[in-house]
Amino acid sequence: MGIFDRFKQPKTEVLEGYQSFSTPFGKIGGGNLTLPYVNGRYQVAGYVPFGSDNLFPETLNQLYYMAPLHGAIVDFKVNAAIGAGYELKTDKLTPDEKLALYTFEKKMKLSKSVKGVTKQLVMHHRVYFKLYFDEKGKVKTIENVSPEKVRINNKKNCYYLCEDWSSRIDVEPVTPYHPLNTDKCQLWAYELPSIGQDYYPLPQYSSALNFAFLSGELSYFAKSNIQNSIFPSFAMMFPKRPQSEEEKKMLRDSIDRMKGAANAGKGVAFFSNSPEQMPKIEAIPTNSNDKLFHEASALNTEQICFSHTIDPILMGVRTTGSLGGGADIKQAYVIFEKNVVIPLREQVTEIFQELLNVCRLTAEFNIRNFQIINETIVERDEKVLKVVDSLNSLEASVAQKVLEQMTPNELRALASLPPLEIPAQWFTL
């Protein structure tokens, strides 16, 4: 095998059970998705492959559509960061500068671009824009390029663009943007640093890519389990076939009398002229696929949320050690906003502010502050925390009975709400 044989592209084929996209995807999950192969010592046609098949970015896109929770978290991050939209401060601009800014805004379709760039930043940790310059060296056209279409050489002095890397047709070399670069077409890049990654950054959630793939497979597993399984709970075996239509009707009627919710738990009586003619009833053991599905799904959910630095409670998932009340959600969101939303918002602001500078526009770009929950972190006293911990250690049914015995104000204290002024006994029925 030659040194570059590992990078040869497989033949395009339709894979059973997998959707097709505008950019062809291959079957994923054959290796460790968290560790894409990238080695700057090896190049194919001038560029460094991203992954052993050079399709790792396409895999990231595919997982966004395959894994429901992963895709939902990506969208949640994007909406939380830019939900209030952007603004351009133009107070100190001249009429000509305002006109130039207006032209820039319309050409870029800025509102749409901000959302798209934010999603690219979350999913790929890199954003690219193709800049076209006029004879005077001024930007005349600016075009966003999806990260999965971009590769780089080992010297980092040339990018390679391709609409479909699975076929490698029409690969276009483009030089990186630099103020002293005189090329009419240049690629402006914004790449977040990743430890140990010299050529392509890895997204924050890359440690859970195997779980994201598993999430997509679990939905397919559940579907196949339902389609390919039969679910009778018992088998009724008769030693003799019914001979007449009357006997067949009696048999159908007796079985029908055992069906339905109204007959649940009722006894069954059979009559026969001889013991040899009595039916034999055997229970059919149920398979454990549903248990396997729930266990794998629970583990999968936690790992995906942890990799995204988001509390599962924000995605509607109740976890062990949390009552899932309003106070828990508020606290989780405040932490999420400080650790994820604000840094993401600052990165998006930096991207478009630099683009404005490259286009010689002096406006100030800002993203309006947007908070899903307008609250501060709620601190509970030690007594309340001990009660909450005790409840979480109980079985759900037992904890429910304890909660039913508590007064309204005691329940409000668990949720970090102020007590009611009306005496609690007034609410007793």
Neighbouring C-beta atoms of residue 322, cutoff 10 Å: 17
DSSP secondary structure string for all residues of 169-181? -S-EEEEEP-TT-
For the chain, helix, strand, coil in percent to 5 are: 45, 10, 45
Instruction: Show Cβ contacts of residue 201 under 8 Å, excluding neighbours closer than 6 positions.
Output: 124, 125, 126, 191, 192, 193, 194
pLDDT of 61 reads: 92
Answer left, alpha or beta for residue 300, where phi above 0 means left and psi between -120 and 50 means alpha.
alpha
**Cα radius of gyration rounded to whole Å, the chain:** 31
Instruction: Show Cβ contacts of residue 102 under 8 Å, excluding neighbours closer than 6 positions.
Output: none
- Low-confidence stretches of the chain (pLDDT < 70) are 1-31, 228-232, 265, 276, 286-290, 292-293, 318-326, 373-396, 411-418, 420-429
Q: Please, are residues 41 and 154 in contact by the beta-carbon 8 Å criterion?
A: yes
Largest Cα–Cα distance of the chain, in whole Å?
A: 106
Kindly report the pTM of this predicted structure: 0.70
Neighbouring C-beta atoms of residue 419, cutoff 10 Å: 12
Going 414 to 420 to 425 to 429, the CA torsion angle's sign is negative
217-238 pLDDT, tens digit per residue, is 777 777 777 776 666 677 777 7
Q: Where are the domains of the chain?
A: 1-228+287-378, 380-429
pLDDT of 288 reads: 63
- Strand pairing class (159-161; 150-152): antiparallel
